[in-house]
Amino acid sequence: MGIEIGGILGLLILIANVWAIVNVFQSKASTGSKVFWIVFILVLPVIGLIVWFFAGPRG
């Protein structure tokens, strides 16, 4: 039971991170800012996603 839940949770986090990275690419932020956010999301997947959601570059 635990493996299935962990796998589904991991898949949801992966999908959310890909969605966040796509949104960072589409934002009008500077290139340096985009690189920072993408690296931050990749290095710290859960925390990076949460911080990006509240403080990341907007559309």
Please report the pLDDT score of residue 57 as a whole number: 81
**How buried is 37 (Cβ within 10 angstroms: 0-12 exposed, 13-18 middle, 19+ buried)?**
buried
In terms of DSSP H, where are the helices of 27-44? 31-43
Condensed to tens digits (0 to 9), the pLDDT of residues 1-16 reads 566 777 889 999 999 9
CA R_g for the chain: 13
Q: Look up the pTM and report it.
A: 0.84
Condensed to tens digits (0 to 9), the pLDDT of residues 14-52 reads 999 999 999 999 999 999 999 999 999 999 999 999 999
Hey, how many other C-beta atoms are within 10 angstroms of the C-beta on 39? 11
Please report the pLDDT score of residue 2 as a whole number: 61
Ranges of each domain in the chain: 2-55
Please report the pLDDT score of residue 3 as a whole number: 67
